[in-house]
Amino acid sequence: MLSKRIIPCLDIRNGQTVKGINFVNIREVGDPVELGKRYSEQGADELVFLDITATHEGRKTFVELVKRIAANLNIPFTVGGGISELKDAEALLAAGADKISINSSAIKNPQLIDDLALHFGSQFVVVAIDARETDNRWEATIHGGRIPTGKELFSWAKEAENRGAGEILFTSMNHDGTKNGFANEALAHLSESLTIPLIASGGAGTMEHFVDLFTNGKADAGLAASIFHFGEIAIPDLKSYLRKAGISVR
């Protein structure tokens, strides 16, 4: 069995790391360069950096900030926010990103997934899906969860895979920031329908939630923010706990 990955997420707004609940009530939590360096030293497997207002505000991700974060890391680094064409991805790759994450731009222009995968390779392309469950239906949203798209989560994830995505990053908006556990039922369904790795986001609150995620949710990686940012769970402690629970981690 492949080792499960633990991935801290840095949501960036105006150059600062922030965190909200259900995508709102956002507050600042620190300098992304320092946080990224800390997580790298603590044994995080990867880091995800998302400029959460880039698409909504119609500007590009902070390339200079990406350079500064990458200079302090020795782990894979995924960057997302405001990527809508090949040259955006090229700039981020040159700045030190190992992968790029696309969300709103992929839904608006699905061909972008094909183009990025063809140009850079599927391993470079992460398709992020922010979805909300309403009346037993999961619907993908865009612009930081502000706009529903009508696209159903599972069919859209499969289309993204077929177009060349190397990974799917699924965030449950119902669970985001609540610390009540991951959307394991939806994750298990996604995992069974996909052949590419699945990263789960939204709902991490305890170490047991990660055990549930990897056993019941069948995800390949667990992404979290506030529990790491506020020191509620230390990455070395989490990995030790998972090993004792019989889950393979790096």
C-alpha distances out from residue 151 to 63, 98, 164, Å: 30, 28, 18
Note the pLDDT of residue 19: 58
Nearest-angstrom CA–CA distance, 223 and 46: 9
**Assigned superfamily of 5-244:** Aldolase class I (3.20.20.70)
Q: Indicate which residue of 11, 45, 176, 220 is catalytic.
A: 11
Instruction: Mark whether 130 is an active-site residue.
Output: yes
Residues with Cβ within 8 Å of residue 93, at least 6 apart in sequence: 100, 120, 124
What parts of the chain have a pLDDT lower than 70?
1, 19-29, 52-61
Q: Indicate which residue of 45, 51, 88, 130 is catalytic.
A: 130
Note the pLDDT of residue 149: 96
Nearest-angstrom CA–CA distance, 186 and 89: 30
Over residues 86-129, the pLDDT tens digits come to 999 999 999 999 999 999 999 999 999 999 999 999 999 999 99
Residue boundaries of the structural domains of the chain: 5-244
Instruction: Mark whether 176 is an active-site residue.
Output: no
Long-range Cβ contact pairs of 88-93 (< 8 A, separation 24 or more): 88/60, 88/61, 89/116, 89/119, 89/120, 89/124, 91/60, 91/63, 92/61, 92/63, 92/66, 93/120, 93/124
Stated pTM of the model:
0.93
